Structure 1
Amino acid sequence: MSEDRAALQDALRLTAVALEDAGIPFALVGGYAAWARGAPEPSHDADFAVREQDVPRAREAIAAAGLELADPPENWLFKAYYQGALVDVLFRMVGEPVTEEMLAGSDVLEVLAVRMPVLSATDILSAKMRVLGEHYCDFTPLLGMARALREQVDWARVRDETAAYPYARAFLTLVHELDVSPLGPLTTGHRDGSGRPDRP
């Protein structure tokens, strides 16, 4: 294992333990949440979600665990570093606040020998699809994730949540054609359910 990968895994563990010990509701999200559910392991960063009201306590707990905090220009997360490895702590995802209901829908799984809440496969994939756009539209890693999580995903909910996002609809068309998803996107202009290009 490379030193960078080891530092990233240590950063993930330290953050999860710090939040758990502080009694802060949280969930592992993003690429490492998908990895915990069977997708390929990411190499860039680890992502956690907390409610915005818990951000001050989360910052305090994570800093006390030995990570260095940083405030990016974006107003929906803060960053923490450990030996050069990056942890993003999000309190809004795809423009929407992280809610108690979202966190409650997580499953407690063992990740790198630490038990922690992990976002549901449906929420992981839905969020990843909704951030696709003209500035970021790489389907390759997302396709691998969708293949790995396909049996865990509520595809009907993913379709409904991504109906207003054209790049997400394009991706859903792709995974439908590849038999990864049993459902295709809602047909434009038929959000009520008619005209859906689904397989029987």
Structure 2
Amino acid sequence: MKPIEPVPTSHPVDESNAAIATFYREVLQTLNAASVPYLIGGAYAFNRYTEVNRPTKDLDIFIRRNDFERIREVVQEAGYECELTYPHWLGKVHFEGVYIDLIFSSGNAIAEVDDAWFEHAAPGEVLGVPVRICPAEEMIWSKAFIMEKERFDGADIAHLIRARSAQLDWPRLFRRFEPHWRVLLSHLILFGFVYPAHRDLVPSAIMDELIERLRQETHSEPPDTRLCLGTLLSREQYLNDIERQGLQDGRVAPVGKMTPEDTAQWTQAISDDHEPD
């Protein structure tokens, strides 16, 4: 069956609060005026690709890590506070209790924003401001690892595949998941479960390659390692394995891209996020 093709929209996901909308618009206009490269992600991008409209509490701007200091400079000159919240993946622009996320990787440090994000970005509009939208492939890649107890982005991935399968650069998406191809396979299997009549939207060559890899692994000896990659999927649910059972944290170098200081700060944020507002 053919994919469901959404009509590109310029309608914002949520501009019910005029002050917040003005804040978002002014920051975007400031970045445009300074010719600083950035991309829009989150609910705005999701709506652009799928026509699934949902409210959002913030605006997600994706940037290269080496552009952060320049962005902080221009937004501070415009009168907004800006901080490097988590050095391994995230900064924030603040305005009266509202914020914009400046994202240059993912919480597990896997989905780093590189040049390819910009090369394959799509045109769009947010609050009347011309912008560029994160590629659907990179959205799937970064969302695929979000499997927290309180949040699972699998439905977003299923909606993106259903809406954009014909336009997806499947080989590039496949390469993004190396060496974590099992994560991609898990989502593609779930897609066929969620949308039985649309199973053919996933190219058979992709499924064949992934299943053949799985077959080969099944018939080979498991690696002799105490590695736990569960921490790439959830910052909280595999801490017992790391802290009490002594397994190796898959986020930390040389296996992952994070430092012990990064993981400690990111773990501390769990209790901070669970505190009442």
Alignment TM-score > 0.5, same fold: yes
Match of 1:189, SS?
A: helix
Which residue number in structure 1 is paired with residue 238 of structure 2? none
Alignment partner of 1:176 out of 167, 192, 197? 192
CA RMSD of aligned residues (A): 3.2
Q: Is 1:158 the equivalent of 2:173?
A: yes
Q: Following superposition of structure 1 onto structure 2, how do residues 60-99 of structure 1 map, counting pairs within 5 Å?
A: 60-93=73-106, 94-99=109-114
Shift of 1:59: 0.6
1:29 corresponds to which letter in structure 2? G
The Cα shift of 1:162 comes to 3.0
Q: Which one of 9, 31, 45 corresponds to residue 33 of structure 1?
A: 45
Matches within 5 A, 1:127-142: 127-129=142-144, 131-133=145-147, 135=149, 136-142=151-157
Contact 2:41–2:60, Cα closer than 8 Å, also in 1: yes
User: Is the contact between residue 50 and residue 89 of structure 1 (CA under 8 Å) also seen in structure 2?
Assistant: yes
Does the C-alpha gap of structure 1 residues 175 and 12 become closer, same or farther in structure 2, counting only changes over 3 Å? Answer: farther
Secondary structure of 1:152's aligned partner: coil
**Partner residue of 1:107?**
122
Shift of 1:114: 0.9
Cα distance per residue 1:49-91 (max 9 Å; x no partner): 2222211110111223343323324521201123433211122
SS at match of 1:92: coil
Matched, 1:189 2:201: no
1:116: how far off? Answer: 0.9
Deviation at 1:2, TM superposition (A): 7.5
Q: What amino acid does structure 2 have at the position aligned with 1:132?
A: I
Q: CA deviation at 1:99?
A: 2.2
Q: Which has more radius of gyration? A: 2
User: 2:15 and 2:133 mapped to 1: Cα distance?
Assistant: 25
- The unaligned stretches of length 5 or more in structure 1 are 193-200
Q: Measured at CA, do residues 4 and 188 of structure 1 come closer, stay the same or move farther in structure 2, by a change above 3 Å?
A: farther
What is the CA–CA distance in structure 2 between the aligned matches of 1:22 and 1:34, rounded to whole Å? 26
Larger strand share, 1 or 2: 1
Q: Distance in 2 between matches of 1:133 and 1:171?
A: 11
Q: Give the letter aligned to residue 48 of structure 2.
A: A
Q: Identical aligned pairs, as a percentage?
A: 24
Contact 2:37 2:63 (8 Å CA) reproduced = yes
Contact 1:110–1:116 (Cα < 8 Å) also in 2: yes
What TM-score, normalized by structure 2, do the two folds share? 0.57
Q: Which consecutive segments of 4 or more residues in structure 1 shift more than 6 A?
A: 1-4
Q: Which moved more, 1:2-11 or 1:57-66?
A: 2-11
Mapped partners of 2:30, 2:68: distance in 1: 13
Aligned length: 191
Which residue of 12, 37, 41 corresponds with 2:24?
A: 12
Q: Report the Cα distance in structure 2 between the residues aligned to 1:28 and 1:22, rounded to whole angstroms.
A: 16
Following superposition, the deviation at residue 172 of structure 1 comes to 1.4
